Chains A and B, each alone.
Chain A
Amino acid sequence: MREGLNRWADPPLLVLASLAEESKHGYAITQDIADTMGIRLSAGTLYAAISRLEARGLIEPLESDDRRRPYRLTAAGARELAEQSERMHQVASVAQQRLRVNYGWAGA
């Protein structure tokens, strides 16, 4: 059940959010997501997300002499992240308002 409600933790979205800060390589992305969002992505999950995002042109790899190739957000990726964030924000606002009114929730 919890899995079904966990759409906010969709790995591609987490990767986009991480790359919105600056370009990062795989390990830096997992560290950033773990530190800021409390979710630890495994190697398989991370690279499944990276390959999907790259195929859709939402992120792009940067040149690197190292095996640790960094990725950056493309303009299309930034638009997609903005749309998703807006939708999440709307849902969060409605939910918080109703919790406040009906359940006396004072906020986190």
Chain B
Amino acid sequence: MSARQPRQAWEARVLARAALGLYPPAWRARYGDEVRALLEDSGSGVRAAASLAWHAVPVWACPPRHLYDRRGRMRASLASVGMAWALLAGLVAVFVQLAQAQRQVQASTLAQHPVITWSYWAFDACLIVSLLAVAAGGVPLWLVMFRRARRARRRRVVACLLVPAVVPAAYLMVSVAVFALVRGPGRPVVPWESRSVVDLANGGVGPRWFLALVVLGLAAAAVSAAGPGLALRRLSPHGPVLVLAARAAFLAAVTMGLAGAASVVAAVGLYLWAPAYAGYHVTWPLAVYLPAVLLAAAVAVVSAARGIRAADPPAVA
């Protein structure tokens, strides 16, 4: 046996185990140990790793019926939808700040093009429905989990559940402090000067502070969603309250996705039809906003669809 052979065997084993990591958690929990034992007995190789990786694809696409954990699927979907929804909410808040809240640069634009006005109405309506859906599905589930965590004296889980209230409040306080400390008079909007909307609509704190607050806000949104997601994993709630949350999450994700789409239409409309001085003709804010909204909306809607499929499974013939 050459000196390279043990190393090759070790690499092949590591590869095969990494390939096993490509399988869904339920499949790994059921067959993982057996496959590892088989790999040890048969001396796993690159062929075993490639075969394992290849067969992981159909398992994801069409999970075996006997391993399908409806409640687990709903909980995982709720956690993903929560994260994607929170990021979308953060992104559309940036849109509100840069577009709808800017009366000075918007006044003439809004009156001039109906597509932008309709997009704003659709955006507002979808946002309201989405928020109501989150409240209708999220609050009962949150209350059930909070009561259970308190009764069981699980302080970490209680802390996780309080994160969506504490972190946004802390973020708002930081934002108010930044505004109080660095806010300037703001640059006047003048027709002969072409600048980006971030230069013009940053609330008087300047583009750098504004972008820092945006990044901090998105991080706060992600942390706020991660808290309940972790609590879902720890407490594994079930019953009608979970099904209600999965259905509400679907509505919330779809309407937030539509709100994001409406904001994209409005942003493109502003890019095309706003007067030059309004700052909407600069490409980079749109180039960042568009893919971010589409990606978050796609994740939210796909995760929510998987969750509602688990909540209302199709009848098996």
Contact = CB atoms under 8 A, between A and B. Distances in A.
B39 interface: yes
B41 interface: yes
A48 B31 CA distance: 10
Contacts of A44: 19, 48, 50-56
- The interface residues of chain A, by DSSP majority, are classed as helix
B37 interface: yes
Contacts of A30: 38, 42
Interface residues of B, number: 30
A52 B37 contact: no
Contact of B42 (A43, A54, A69): A43
Interface stretch (B58-66, B74-82, B283-291, B303-311): B58-66
Contacts of A50: 31
Contacts, number: 71
B64 A51 contact: yes
Contacts of B36: 67
Contacts of B55: 44-45, 47-48
- The interface residues of chain B, by DSSP majority, are classed as helix
A26 B37 contact: yes
Contact of B41 (A27, A48, A55, A69): A27
A47 B64 CA distance: 12
B35 A47 contact: yes
B312 interface: no
Nearest to A30: B42
Interface residues of A, number: 20
Interface in A50-90: 50-52, 54-55, 66-69
Q: Counting chain B CB atoms within 10 Å of each CB, which of A30, A45, A51 scores highest?
A: A51
Interface string B18-62: 010000000100110111111101101001101111111011000
A27 B42 contact: yes
Contact of B59 (A25, A26, A51, A66): A51
Contacts of B66: 51, 54-55
A25 B36 CA distance: 12
A46 interface: yes
B34 A68 contact: yes
Contact of A68 (B27, B37, B52, B67): B37
Contacts of A54: 64, 66
Interface of A: 25-27, 30, 42-48, 50-52, 54-55, 66-69
Interface of B: 16, 19, 27, 30-31, 33-39, 41-42, 44, 47-48, 50-56, 58-59, 64-67
28 contacts: A26-B37, A27-B37, A27-B38, A30-B38, A42-B47, A42-B48, A42-B52, A43-B16, A43-B38, A43-B39, A43-B42, A43-B48, A44-B19, A44-B51, A45-B51, A45-B55, A47-B34, A47-B35, A47-B38, A48-B58, A51-B27, A51-B31, A52-B64, A54-B66, A55-B66, A55-B67, A67-B34, A68-B41
